[in-house]
Amino acid sequence: MGEEAGRLLRSPTTPQRATFLELFLDLVFVFALTRISARLIEDLTGDGALAGVGQSLLLFLALWVVWVRTVWSTSWLEPETRVIQSVVVVTAIGAMVMAVSVPDGFGERAGLFAITLVTLQIGRIVYFQIVGHGGPDPQQAVRNLFWLGLAAPLWIVGGLVEQGTVRGALWTVAIVVDCAGLLLGWPTPGLGAHRVRIAATAAEHLTERYQQFLLISLGEAIFVVGLALSGSAFHAAQTAGFALGLTSTILLWRIYFHRAGRLLGPAISRSTDTPRLATEVAFTHLVMIAGIVLTGAGFELIITAPLAGFRATGLVAILGGPALFLTGRLAVEFQIFSSVGFPSPTRSAYWPSVCWRRRPSRCHRSPPARRSSSYCSASPPPTRAPTADRGTSRHRRSDGGAPRCRASPAHRPSWPGRTDRRPPILVRPASGPGRRTRSSRRVVPKSGVDVQA
């Protein structure tokens, strides 16, 4: 253990794909989402529906806090070490205990649910400090323990009291404390706020984990739709409800991965404030996942009783679920493009140029990469020899070859610092590596990568 404690931090050479143990952890949360969905459906069809929906939401948020803290740990630290693997295994066991407590999470099993949650959250930080001998970041551990110490009494006292109203109030405050600490960077007296420094190399892993949990929630919605139809009499109205639910789930998947979902990883890794953007994206995914779970409960109501009419609370799931998902999806769109809607056709596929013009703080931290041979010379440009026409857009090369691309990074300063003009427009050469023509303009993203390709 001592040897592994010295290399707890994630290495840049570590594969960005989720490990098999992390995928195993997700299986536990698949079961947890099914319990949340079953409880939500029962609340929507029973008395006191609004209170029941609120209780299910609190239990869901508690499970999400456990999952997202584990994801940040495996993105910040080395997931293949035995220290991190043991933490993931213990988290899977604890999450399973919390999941089986969900149906009676506001009843006799409330204490078990709360104590398990607090043990997982505080035990993870203490274990890292003991095994790592104070590493990898003792000040960050103090910040986390400070905020966990604020929320832990609320969880435990709320789990032990008998009145459900008091329990709901205490757990609501505890959830707000947990989420506020994560969103604000755990500001602590004497230490200030400081978010976990997720490296740009780990942004791909973090993004993939967010998207995997969203796919899990879509799979849970499919499970609810299929289970509802399999237990019905296969009437025409029920079959139509099944088709509507399945089609809606497919559309939710398509809406998420259109443009913004595919570009989420590059947006986080190339941001000048990766920890902040990664934290904000976590909360927008939370909104979308909650909307998907609520939508699945609405599918259940449509399939089981399509012609019996709905209570007003049933419409919360049927209409509120998709609205919640779309709200989160629009937030992701704004976080990546700094705009919502349909950009112009010229820039619809080139997100970095749109991002650079509207919000430079969310864009790249480095100047544009060297262009490919289709835009500039086929070989790396050599050192530029000083000539009389140095101030013009065409420069001679020291080897006597053709002039380089007008927007070569060596000719211009770093683009994030240039606010007096638009990003460079590269033009395709008519023939040969050095000639240019204005007949075929093409906007290229700042990263030099053609997103359409």
18-74 pLDDT, tens per residue? 889 999 999 999 999 999 999 998 888 777 778 888 899 999 999 999 999 999 888
The structure tokens 């939401």 sit at 57
pLDDT (0 to 100) of residue 319: 87
State mean pLDDT over 129-152: 83
Per-chain mean pLDDT for the chain: 75
Is 90 exceeded by the pLDDT of residue 423? no
When pLDDT is cut at 50, 70 and 90, the band that residue 133 belongs to is: low
CA distance 88 to 85: 5
Domain map (residue ranges) of the chain:
1-197
Say whether pLDDT at 438 is over 90. no
Contacts 24+ apart (CB under 8 A), 141-145: 142/188, 142/191, 143/185, 143/186, 143/187, 143/188, 143/191, 143/193, 143/194, 144/181, 144/186
Residues 6+ apart with CB under 8 A from 372: 448
Q: How far is CA 309 from CA 167, 183, 322, in A?
A: 33, 41, 19
For residue 246, what are the contacts with CB-CB under 8 A and spacing of at least 6?
A: 222, 225
Q: What is the mean pLDDT of residues 432-450?
A: 45
The stretch 180-199 carries a mean pLDDT of 80
Average pLDDT over every residue of 377-400:
45
Residue 117 and residue 97: Cα distance in Å, rounded? 9
Model-level pTM? Answer: 0.72
Query: How far is residue 174's CA from residue 112's CA, in Å, rounded to a whole number?
Result: 16
* Percent of the chain's residues with pLDDT above 90: 35
* Amino acid at position 145, single letter: L
Which residue has better confidence, 116 or 268?
116
Nearest residue to 32 (alpha-carbon basis) of 6, 65, 4:
65
**From 24-33, 271-280, 303-312, the region with the lowest mean pLDDT:** 303-312
Asked whether 8 and 86 are in contact (CB, 8 A), the reply is no
With tokens 């899977």, the residue in question is: 92
Distance CA 360, CA 353 (A): 10
Please count the residues of the chain: 453
Model confidence pLDDT, tens digit, residues 221-251 = 999 999 888 888 888 888 998 999 999 999 9
| Cα–Cα distance, 92 to 98 (Å, whole number) | 10
Read off the tokens for 34.
């099914």
Highest mean pLDDT among 262-276, 396-410, 413-427: 262-276
Per-residue pLDDT, averaged over 429-446, amounts to: 45
Q: Is the pLDDT of residue 88 over 60?
A: yes
Residue 401 has pLDDT above 90, yes or no: no
Tally Cβ neighbours within 10 Å of residue 141. Answer: 17
CB 136 within 8 A of CB 78: no
Mean pLDDT of 371-391: 43
CA 175 – CA 9 distance, rounded (Å): 28
Contacts of 239 (CB under 8 A, 6+ apart): 229
Instruction: Give yes or no for residue 261 having a pLDDT over 80.
Output: no
Are 32 and 98 in contact by the 8 Å Cβ rule? The answer is yes
* Average pLDDT score over residue span 191-200: 71
- For the stretch 240-247, contacts whose Cβ atoms lie closer than 8 Å and that sit 24 or more positions apart, written own/partner, are 240/306, 241/299, 241/302, 241/303, 241/306, 242/303, 244/299, 244/302, 245/221, 245/299, 245/302, 245/303, 246/222
pLDDT surpassing 90 at residue 355: no
- Which pLDDT value is given to residue 75? 84
Beta carbons of 406 and 368 less than 8 angstroms apart: no
